[in-house]
Chain A
């Protein structure tokens, strides 16, 4: 039944009825399953994948590599959840490698992001250091190529 999730993960607007048709199963069953996913937070939300640059919106993304000290018994959970609470934070991941948390910030301009890091993130007690990389240009987001010409190169009628 993961096929329902697979469809919704790439086509969030697909209706239960259409999913049922495509998978050859009952529409009520699909409806019920989706509600269950939502209730259990398997499905966290639905959104459009927007090319902000094309929308002429000046929003800016930055990746912050955060080095931090873990807490006994909690690891990085409390810090990560604290960081996640800020509305400027787009996503937070605990990662392996040279740093501990990877934080994606969304802001209006460089200044706003830099200030957020300086005033909110860096001063947190467990945070040892931060390194900020601003996104200059995106090529693929959430599985979608930015440069989708979307052109069909096929001839209109072929054998």
Chain B
């Protein structure tokens, strides 16, 4: 027997930065009686009629592969909903692919369009998977910082300053995880003009589109000239409380969908059939559920933002998703230390901002996808924690 002499793990994998979420999860798991505001998923269960539809489908033996693109019924529903809600026209035959969540959609989209070394501009802070997904697809993620002063919106001048002759795409996601920021149609139109000017593709992750609390969500592909350059990513995890089902979709011009199907058909075959049936039911009959959950989130959002401000933490007002992103610099602690001590001393878990990018320093992410009782208790504990720290308030 010989011991392996070469590193066994591929270089680009060994080089992936460790997930800050993972590290923090490991710490929290060792503690008891923790109220977690560190969760990135709904606290609601999947609406019962959706589960019921799937039970029925299982009884009827619908347990086979589907078309690589996904069930045509589901693609038709996706097409219908995007057309009626946003006026976005996608042909269910060849412009929509059903994926294993936005996660897979993102991966396949990036692999379909990036050549080695291509640069992708990614807002910072943003969802933890963006950077690594770009890297795994052979690209280079270029962060475009967003600041609280700009309401965590992507500034056109910042985007421009990041463009090089290797820039291939923008990867944006509004409403934004972790800040809850949204961008207006006019603001996005400026980003669209840049995409046009520099011939960039835009991957738009709109998974929180149904969770906006003021104003209308803008579907990026409906901006002038953008249908041709946008890969729209969306899913069921957040709006329909379906994280564990692992189901989402991507919409794009034909050639891009064809390239994505080529990858997806070899690596995934098709998204899970029960999940596709659940998603179809969600689009057909889930509207009242979305509204019910959205209204609950909205109430908690107002409550938590005010509660944080009342105990002395400045908090940007989020207008979408289900996160708040309070500014913790007044405590004199960095985000990591703040989050670690908060969970160790008071049993409240939040996620340190830098997990979502360097611009997250000075902030933590807390979710209001949890019960009012938990929010109240968390605020009480947080107030005690800040009192100990001697924050003036």
Contacts and interface: CB of A to CB of B under 8 A. Distances in A.
Most buried by B among A7, A22, A152: A22
Contacts of A21: 302-303, 306-307
Contact size class for B? Answer: 20 to 34
A156 B21 contact: no
Interface string A128-159: 00000000000000000000000010111111
Contacts of B307: 21
Given A156-B29, A157-B351, A22 B43 contact: no
A42 interface: no
B297 to A, nearest CB: 11
Interface stretch (B31-39, B57-65, B71-79, B262-270): B31-39
Interface string A15-30: 0001001111000000
B351 A24 contact: no
A156 B299 contact: no
A159 B129 contact: yes
A159 B243 CA distance: 11
B303 A22 contact: yes
B21 A18 contact: no
A146 to B, nearest CB: 16
Interface in B288-338: 295, 299-300, 302-303, 306-307
Nearest to B339: A157
A70 to B, nearest CB: 37
A22 B349 contact: no
A152 B37 CA distance: 12
Interface string A38-49: 000000000000
A158 B303 CA distance: 23
A158 B299 contact: no
Contacts of A23: 299, 302
A21 B36 CA distance: 22
A154 B25 CA distance: 12
B200 interface: no
Interface residues of A, number: 15
Contacts, number: 53
Given A156-B29, A157-B21, A22 B39 contact: no
A159 B43 contact: no
A159 B128 contact: yes
B41 interface: yes
Contacts of A11: 372
B363 interface: no
B28 A157 contact: yes
Interface string B38-50: 1111010000000
Contacts of A157: 21, 24-25, 28, 36, 38-39, 349, 351
Nearest to A152: B43
A39 B210 CA distance: 38
B86 interface: no
Nearest to B244: A153
Nearest to B310: A21
18 contacts: A7-B299, A18-B303, A21-B302, A21-B303, A22-B299, A23-B302, A154-B36, A154-B39, A154-B43, A155-B25, A156-B28, A156-B39, A156-B349, A157-B24, A157-B38, A157-B351, A158-B38, A158-B40
Interface of A: 3, 7, 11, 18, 21-24, 152, 154-159
Closest CB pairs A-B (n = 10) = A22-B299, A157-B38, A157-B25, A158-B40, A156-B36, A156-B28, A159-B128, A159-B40, A154-B39, A22-B303
Given A154-B43, A157-B36, 14 more contacts: A18-B303, A21-B306, A22-B302, A23-B299, A155-B25, A156-B25, A156-B28, A156-B29, A156-B34, A157-B38, A158-B25, A158-B39, A159-B19, A159-B127
Interface of B: 19, 21, 24-25, 28-29, 34, 36, 38-41, 43, 127-129, 177, 295, 299-300, 302-303, 306-307, 349, 351, 372
